C-alpha cells in the first residue's frame, strides 16, 4: 500500500507578483495615465480651432448655400451693396484650374518619386531630392512672382488663367513627390524580390506591384496637394484677378475662383458682400471635403487583393 508523501511548502519557490511578470507598478501606472491625459488634452486643444472655424463658417455662410441661385447663377450685374447672385462662376473656375494643375503635377510628381525610390542613385538623385526640398519651402507668392517674371516680363504675354496653373503646379509637385515617395518606401522589398525572382522586369514590377500596393497613399498625397493649391490666393491675385462672370477659357481673359471671390467680397466691407465671402469659404471647404471622401473611396476599392 503506497503512501502519499507530504511536500514541504517552504521548499517551493515563492509566488510571483504582477511586477515580476511585467505588471504595472504604481509609478508606471501613474506615468501611463498622465501620458494618456496629456495626449487627450493635446487632441482637444488641436481640435478647438478646427471646430471653431468650421462652426463659424457654417453659421455665417450656411444660408447662402441653401439658396438655389448660389449654385446656378454668377455675380454678373451684382454690386457689393446688392444681395443675390451665386458662385457657379467661381466654382467652375476653381475646379478647372485644379484639374489642369493636377494633370500637369501628378505625372511629374509620381514619376519623380518613382525615380528617387526605385532608380535614383548618385549625385543626380541627390540634386533632384534637394530641389524638391527647396520647392516645398517656397511661399506661394514667390512662385507667383517667378511665373509673372517669366510669363509677363520676359515673354510679354498677358495674365491668363493658364499662368495661374503653372504657378500652382510649382506648389503641388513637391507635395505629390514627397507623399508618393514615402508611400513607395513602405512597400515591402519582399514583394519586389518575389517579382524579380519570377523573371518580371523592373518597370513592370513597379507598374503592376509597387504602385498598386501604395495607390491609396498616393491618392491621399495628390488630394493633399490639391487641397493646398485650391486654397491659394496670391498666385490668383497676381496672375488671374477676379471677374464676376462665367469664364472657362484658360487661354483668354480672366477666370474667377473661390479664393479670389472671397478676397474681392471681403475688401468691399459691406454686409451682402461679407455674406458672399462666408458662403464662398464654406463652398471651398465642402469641395475639398468631397474630394477627400472620393479619394478615400478610390483608395479603398483599388487596393491590391490578397
Domain ranges of the chain: 29-62, 69-301
pLDDT at residue number 95: 93
Quick: pLDDT tens for 114-147: 999 998 888 898 999 999 999 888 899 999 999 9
What does the alpha-carbon distance between residue 219 and residue 217 come to, in Å, rounded to a whole number? 5
Q: Are 81 and 276 in contact (CB under 8 A)?
A: no
Architecture of domain 69-301: Orthogonal Bundle (1.10)
Rounded to the nearest 5°, which phi and psi values hold at 232? -70, 145
pLDDT at residue number 3: 47
Q: Which residues of the chain have pLDDT under 70?
A: 1-25, 299, 301-306
Q: Which three cell numbers stand for residue 17?
A: 507578483
pLDDT at residue number 82: 81
pLDDT at residue number 167: 93
pLDDT at residue number 220: 83
Amino acid at each position: 500500500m503506497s503512501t502519499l508523501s507530504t511536500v514541504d511548502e517552504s521548499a517551493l519557490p515563492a509566488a510571483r507578483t504582477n511586477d515580476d511578470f511585467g505588471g504595472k507598478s504604481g509609478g508606471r501606472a501613474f506615468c501611463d495615465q498622465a501620458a494618456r491625459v496629456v495626449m487627450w488634452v493635446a487632441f482637444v486643444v488641436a481640435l478647438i480651432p478646427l471646430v471653431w472655424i468650421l462652426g463659424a463658417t457654417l453659421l455665417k455662410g450656411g444660408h447662402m448655400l441653401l439658396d438655389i441661385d448660389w449654385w446656378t447663377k454668377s455675380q454678373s450685374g451684382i454690386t457689393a451693396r446688392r444681395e443675390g447672385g451665386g458662385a457657379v462662376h467661381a466654382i467652375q473656375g476653381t475646379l478647372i484650374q485644379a484639374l489642369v494643375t493636377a494633370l500637369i503635377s501628378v505625372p511629374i510628381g509620381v514619376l519623380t518619386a518613382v525615380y528617387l525610390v526605385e532608380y535614383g542613385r548618385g549625385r543626380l538623385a541627390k540634386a533632384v531630392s534637394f530641389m524638391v526640398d527647396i520647392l516645398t519651402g517656397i511661399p506661394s507668392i514667390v512662385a507667383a512672382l517667378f511665373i509673372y517674371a517669366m510669363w509677363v516680363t520676359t515673354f510679354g504675354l498677358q495674365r491668363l488663367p493658364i499662368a495661374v496653373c503653372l504657378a500652382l503646379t510649382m506648389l503641388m509637385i513637391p507635395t505629390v513627390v514627397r507623399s508618393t515617395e514615402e508611400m513607395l518606401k513602405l512597400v515591402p522589398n519582399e514583394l519586389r524580390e518575389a517579382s524579380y525572382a519570377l523573371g518580371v522586369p523592373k518597370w513592370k514590377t513597379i507598374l503592376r506591384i509597387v504602385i498598386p500596393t501604395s495607390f491609396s497613399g498616393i491618392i491621399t498625397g495628390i488630394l493633399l496637394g490639391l487641397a493646398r493649391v485650391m486654397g491659394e490666393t496670391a498666385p490668383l491675385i497676381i496672375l488671374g484677378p477676379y471677374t464676376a462672370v462665367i469664364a472657362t477659357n484658360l487661354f483668354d481673359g480672366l477666370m474667377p475662383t473661390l479664393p479670389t471671390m472671397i478676397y474681392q467680397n471681403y475688401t468691399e466691407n459691406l454686409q451682402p458682400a461679407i455674406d458672399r465671402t462666408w458662403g464662398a469659404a464654406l463652398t471651398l471647404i465642402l469641395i475639398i471635403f468631397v474630394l477627400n471622401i472620393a479619394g478615400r473611396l478610390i483608395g479603398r476599392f483599388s487596393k491590391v487583393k490578397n
